[in-house]
Structure 1
Amino acid sequence: MSLDRADLTAATQPLNRARSMPAGFYTDPAIFKAERERVFLKHWFFLTRAEALPEPGDYRAFDSPGGPIVLIRGNDGRLRCFANYCRHRGSILLEGKGNVGGKITCPYHAWSYLNDGRLYGCPDMKDAEGFDKVENGLVALDLDEWEGFVFARFTKDGPSLREHLGDFPERMASHKLGQMRCTWSMTLDVACNWKLILENAVETYHTGIVHRDTVGAQQSRSPATRGDWIAIQVISGRSIATLGSDQPPFPPIEGLDEEAKLGTYFTVVFPTVQFAVAQDCLWWLNTRPVSENRTVLEVGGCFPEDRLSLPDFKARALPYYDRWERVAKEDVGILEKQQRALGSALYRPGPLSWRDDMVQAMGVWVLDRLGL
């Protein structure tokens, strides 16, 4: 891996004399390979909201750094996550999203599986010596939920999801995130490293420049956290989930604690997702790393469930969707330029500002997992 030890030492110094990470941290295929083995395959990662798959047989397929996977709700009402391949010769089983009813059938040789992963049908296998249907069901990932947010991991070793989240549930308790419902999402194919997206999401240094005509300049503080997450809180007496100076269309969530009333939390739950938690809603930036210079970014938005029954909900929600899409695309534009610049043979890490504290924290977390 092409990371110079002196550059790494400089990047992990106290903030007032620290420098940014070396270019290879974002451009080296060897670093991305190491991240796959030591980060993506060993930690919890966010998939979607549980209500996105309400009925038995509902499924959604994902391309993940660990390969294709599929989330499906069984006839027993449970969500399960499986490697998305047939146990015969490895064909992809499901694409996109939809409902398969009670059974998944391989499009190649028609092996079939119940929606709880058990092998159901396997044509012409009666003469296969030692063949065991029980042992040839779909391969499951570890799966867990917190307040309707569904997470998976490729290993069963390591901390539980609640241990991974640390004090995140406590900090967000008054937002009642379990009562949120996702009403909107969009997906962008981004030509940059996944870490650049999340670093950008926890600093306000850029907002008055990149987002001059949308969200504008912002001020933030960095609350202490416990567990595998970091945060900044953008200070504002009103939700910043819509644009302009008018009061947002939806009122604040009832019962917010005094800390939550101060502004919007922009968090990174390591390794790959940001939850932005405002006084009236939540949105996420979920990164699915594809390569060292390509990331699939899903942006999703949630509101308290009781808002959805309002007769004018759709009209009142539109300003939120507009803000989430416009700001995400502004960020993508600048981050793709940053990725290109990191490819310069003359690139040298620059000094960090006091406003880059969580950018540094993100990099240090990854370095620690890589053992660098």
Structure 2
Amino acid sequence: MDVGEIVAELGRYLGPDAEELSLPPAAFTSPELWQAEQERVFGRSWVLVAHADELAETGAYVALSVAGEPVVVVRGEDGALRGMSPVCRHRLMPVVEEGSGRTDVFTCPYHLWRYGLDGRLVGATHMKRNPAFDPSACRLPPFAVEEWQGFVFVNLDVNAEPLGPHLRRIGGDLANYRLPELTQVAGWTEEWHCNWKIAVENAHENYHVMGFHPETLQPTTPGGAETTVRSDSPWADSMRVRYATPLEPMVLDLTEEERAHLYGFFVFPSGSLAASGDMVIWLSLIPSALDRTTVRGGVLMPSAMIEGQDREAVRKEAEAYAAVINGEDRRGLEAVQRGAVSRFAERGHLSPKEPGVLLFYRSLAHALLREDDDGPGRPE
């Protein structure tokens, strides 16, 4: 199946009588589709990359790959967050390795060119005798960055439409969770050997819990639990799953419905939040290659819950639990990726417990088929 046929099949999800089928297996293995996604999905969509607590200090940065494109987001001397390409303007060397940290200046390790936190060149060794070189015109290319209720998004399209207005309904749903007041107590970055869509479609349903998480999540959020979804736009949707037993939060003043449900919120293409009692977990499933996905995430809690506690012990406990859940997903999804290359792989019928998967497919189809000035991240 070539890329044109794959995209045509995706387009069927946008029709009123779309069949409830999984993606064609080739959608997870096609280099041509991956190239189209790099440009049409990740080249112009808002990607969740961090929580503001990771970037609280001047010079704090997060560096990563977004669909193969190197990106760094840093807190500037003026307090503003900035996104930029970390590729040196001299000879293509990244000025910072992937990861997180703090710096006063980005120094290229190749020839020691230096860039300020705003991306402007502040020093270039032995360049004064090149009359064609104008240091004032040299800077790292900027990307769009937006912080929404503590979550940091980046868009490779510097002229992208603001994200916030499209998340107003989600913001209202999460009002009682007091997102801006929450503290990140734990975080992680992992690499999974699977196509990003395999990971994202998995996040859009709770049905898999009975298979992947029989002892960890199935007792509290059963895979067969009542599940409802809502689409706000092609780039924002939500899912609500009923708990086996309602939670009793210690700090947050939640409604009866909020105590009785796990709330999942998704920002296309790769970001998600899960609100559960006194805890909110964020997760972003960001492709680095056709069959590689970087998994970034964190656990947020009200400050009152950790007052007087050993913060390091809280962090280790939260990260250990997340590692168990993530490990269960990773092992399962990497097996799915191996299955996708089988000569006998074919599309399957979706369960009524997987309505969120269809919402993701529709967003993906919309992103690949939309005009350049329409859709997620661009003015309508």
Instruction: Give ranges in structure 1 of 5+ residues lacking alignment.
Output: 240-246
CA distance in 1, matches of 2:197, 2:7: 20
Q: Is the contact made by 1:27 and 1:342 (CA closer than 8 Å) also made in structure 2?
A: yes
Residues 1:82 and 2:88 are matched in the alignment: no
User: Displacement of 1:28 after TM fit?
Assistant: 0.7
CA distance in 2, matches of 1:9, 1:371: 7
Q: Greater CA deviation, 324-333 or 51-60? A: 51-60
**Among 88, 91, 94, which residue is 2:93 paired with?**
91
CA distance in 2, matches of 1:86, 1:97: 18
User: Displacement of 1:366 after TM fit?
Assistant: 0.5
The secondary structure found in structure 1 opposite 2:353 is helix
The secondary structure found in structure 2 opposite 1:167 is helix
2:347 is matched with which residue?
A: 349
**Among 306, 324, 342, which residue is 1:326 paired with?**
324
**Among 44, 54, 61, which residue is 1:59 paired with?**
61
2:47 is matched with which residue?
A: 45
**Among 283, 305, 308, which residue is 1:307 paired with?**
305
1:27 is matched with which residue?
A: 29
User: Displacement of 1:8 after TM fit?
Assistant: 4.3
Q: Is the contact made by 2:287 and 2:294 (CA closer than 8 Å) also made in structure 1?
A: yes
CA distance in 1, matches of 2:107, 2:213: 47
Q: 1:181 to 1:15 in 2, by over 3 A?
A: farther
Provide TM-score, normalisation by structure 2: 0.87
2:144 is matched with which residue?
A: 142
The secondary structure found in structure 2 opposite 1:35 is helix
**Among 274, 278, 298, which residue is 2:272 paired with?**
274
User: Displacement of 1:351 after TM fit?
Assistant: 1.1
Q: 1:356 to 1:13 in 2, by over 3 A?
A: farther
CA distance in 2, matches of 1:33, 1:371: 14
User: Displacement of 1:136 after TM fit?
Assistant: 0.4
Q: 1:235 to 1:120 in 2, by over 3 A?
A: same
Instruction: Give ranges in structure 2 of 5+ residues lacking alignment.
Output: 371-380
The secondary structure found in structure 2 opposite 1:20 is coil
Q: Is the contact made by 1:183 and 1:301 (CA closer than 8 Å) also made in structure 2?
A: yes
Q: Is the contact made by 1:204 and 1:220 (CA closer than 8 Å) also made in structure 2?
A: no
Q: For 1:287, give the aligned amino acid.
A: L
1:107 is matched with which residue?
A: 109
State the identity %: 30
4+ residue runs over 4 A deviation: 4-17, 312-320
**Among 156, 159, 162, which residue is 2:161 paired with?**
159
User: Displacement of 1:31 after TM fit?
Assistant: 0.9
The secondary structure found in structure 2 opposite 1:354 is coil
2:70 is matched with which residue?
A: 68
User: Displacement of 1:268 after TM fit?
Assistant: 2.0
2:378 is matched with which residue?
A: none
CA distance in 2, matches of 1:55, 1:17: 50
CA distance in 1, matches of 2:353, 2:192: 25
The secondary structure found in structure 2 opposite 1:287 is strand
The secondary structure found in structure 1 opposite 2:142 is coil
Q: 1:36 to 1:224 in 2, by over 3 A?
A: same
Q: How does 1:232-243 map to 2 (within 5 A)?
A: 232-236=239-243, 237-239=245-247
Q: 1:6 to 1:108 in 2, by over 3 A?
A: closer
Q: 1:13 to 1:134 in 2, by over 3 A?
A: same
The secondary structure found in structure 2 opposite 1:325 is helix
CA distance in 1, matches of 2:139, 2:192: 35
Q: Greater CA deviation, 179-188 or 42-51? A: 179-188
User: Displacement of 1:192 after TM fit?
Assistant: 0.9
CA distance in 1, matches of 2:209, 2:140: 46
CA distance in 2, matches of 1:38, 1:368: 10
Q: 1:221 to 1:15 in 2, by over 3 A?
A: farther
Q: How does 1:252-271 map to 2 (within 5 A)?
A: 252-271=250-269
CA distance in 2, matches of 1:158, 1:59: 22
1:244 is matched with which residue?
A: none
Residues 1:297 and 2:295 are matched in the alignment: yes
Q: 1:134 to 1:262 in 2, by over 3 A?
A: farther
User: Which digits, 9 at most, give the CA deviation of each residue in 1:234-291, with x for residues without a partner?
Assistant: 212544xxxxxxx7xxx34423245423311122211111211112111122112022
User: Displacement of 1:120 after TM fit?
Assistant: 1.0
Q: Is the contact made by 1:72 and 1:79 (CA closer than 8 Å) also made in structure 2?
A: yes
CA distance in 2, matches of 1:14, 1:252: 44
**Among 195, 210, 213, which residue is 1:211 paired with?**
213
User: Displacement of 1:300 after TM fit?
Assistant: 1.6
2:38 is matched with which residue?
A: 36
2:236 is matched with which residue?
A: 229
Figure out how many residues of one structure are paired with residues of the other and give that number. 361
Q: For 1:369, give the aligned amino acid.
A: A
The secondary structure found in structure 1 opposite 2:73 is strand
CA distance in 1, matches of 2:207, 2:106: 49
